[in-house]
Amino acid sequence: MAGKVFFSVSMSLDGFIAPDSPEELMGTQWRELQQWVFRQRHFRENLGLGKGGEEGRDNDIVTETFERTGASVMGKRMFDAGEQMWPEQAPFHTPVFVVTHEEREPWERPGGTTFRFVGDGIESALDHARLAAGSRDVRVAGGGTTVVGYLNAGLIDEFHVAISPVLFGSGIRLFEGVEDSRVRLEQTGTESSTRTTHLYYDVHVR
């Protein structure tokens, strides 16, 4: 049976997933947004930050999200930012398909992450990712424009948003440009931890 197509992001209460410029990524706000992830054991070990970290429900969520993912799709801007920031052992450990107009040979990293560059659109990138993922799920990793592109195309089955208790005031919004006329949401679950609230939705196309 084919897997699901999903996304999973951390969002501020006012709807932002990142600051306007990558230089701000290490700022206080961004850390507040992501701190429920950064402190988890799975996240720290996966990025090679050493042993240790929390092991509660938030860690389970990070681990489950990683384990269900057989392949990822991402936009070029997210890849460009990540190319500078990921460690040599990029944290995906699966095939990753980058939607881009730039032609480029596959980029294989130690640890099982291979980036492939797809020039003929988001549907094609998803087809590649589905094939690579087999029975596991495909994660649309980001950024916001790519997530909204897949949402508007009716290609997302379900998603998880962790709403962190922080207000950005400005930055890159998750749902900018979403076509409300296309997308109907069904709330399927909620759970809160000390640092964030996890919301789960199924997506139905109107």
User: Would you tell me which residues interact with a second copy (CB under 8 A)?
Assistant: 13-15, 29, 161, 163, 165-170, 173-175, 177-181, 183, 185-187, 189-192, 194-197, 199, 201
CA–CA gap between residue 83 and residue 75 (Å, rounded): 12
How far, in Å, are 24, 31, 75, 168 from residue 164 at the CA level? 18, 10, 23, 11
Please give the span between the terminal C-alpha atoms of the chain, in angstroms, as a whole number: 25
Cβ count within 10 A of residue 105: 8
CA–CA gap between residue 36 and residue 54 (Å, rounded): 10
Which helix (H) or strand (E) segment is 197 a member of? strand 197-205
Give the shortest CB-192-to-a second copy separation in angstroms: 4
Give the shortest CB-103-to-a second copy separation in angstroms: 34
Helix (H, G, I), strand (E, B) or coil at 90: coil
Give the shortest CB-8-to-a second copy separation in angstroms: 14
Give the shortest CB-35-to-a second copy separation in angstroms: 12
User: What are the residues whose beta carbons fall under 8 Å from the beta carbon of 193, sequence distance 6 or more?
Assistant: 36, 56, 57, 58
Considering beta carbons, is residue 5 or 133 the nearer one to a second copy?
Answer: 5
Considering beta carbons, is residue 153 or 185 the nearer one to a second copy?
Answer: 185
Considering beta carbons, is residue 40 or 152 the nearer one to a second copy?
Answer: 152
In the chain, the amino acid numbered 96 is V
Give the shortest CB-5-to-a second copy separation in angstroms: 17
